[in-house]
């Protein structure tokens, strides 16, 4: 692992045609199974966590809808080698705590 993992989302319309979250364009990419680099772009990412140290990375995210238009996000915090603890955040349908 070369960077901490965080929780982020982009909200889109039900017909998948319109991005509903504002935000900057983020670029990056990945190497596919054949070793070829593939560029990626994502616009409107809303970050829920903001870990900056490799000692804190999100893993095993679970999403649970709660009555009252709330969402429970359950996840584990890991170092590169070890389990740290389980954490949660409750957000509204727009991702705000």
pLDDT digits 0-9 by tens, 26-71: 899 999 999 999 999 988 888 899 999 988 999 999 999 999 899 9
Please report whether residue 86 resides in a domain. Answer: yes
Give the side-chain half-sphere CA count within 13 A for 27. Answer: 3
Residue 88 lies in a domain: yes
pLDDT > 90? residue 96: no
Lowest mean pLDDT among 13-17, 29-33, 84-88, 91-95: 91-95
Taking 70 as the threshold, does the pLDDT of residue 1 lie above it?
A: no
Residue 96, Cβ neighbours under 10 Å: how many?
8
16, part of any domain: yes
**Does any domain span residue 18?**
yes
Integer Cα distance of 89 and 23 in angstroms: 21
pTM, 2 dp: 0.78
Domain residues for the domain of 36 are 8-92
Q: Which helix (H) or strand (E) holds 43?
A: strand 37-43
Cβ atoms 2, 45 nearer than 8 A: no
Instruction: Count up the domains in the chain and report the number.
Output: 1
């Amino acid at each position: 692992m070369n960077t901490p993992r965080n929780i982020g989302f982009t909200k889109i319309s039900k017909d998948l045609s319109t991005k509903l979250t504002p935000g900057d364009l983020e670029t990056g990419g990945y190497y596919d199974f054949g070793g070829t680099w593939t560029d990626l772009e994502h616009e409107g990412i809303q970050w829920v966590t903001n870990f900056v140290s490799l000692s804190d990375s999100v893993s095993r995210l679970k999403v649970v809808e709660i009555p009252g238009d709330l969402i429970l996000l359950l996840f584990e915090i890991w170092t590169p080698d070890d389990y740290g603890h389980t954490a949660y955040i409750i957000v509204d349908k727009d991702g705000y705590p």
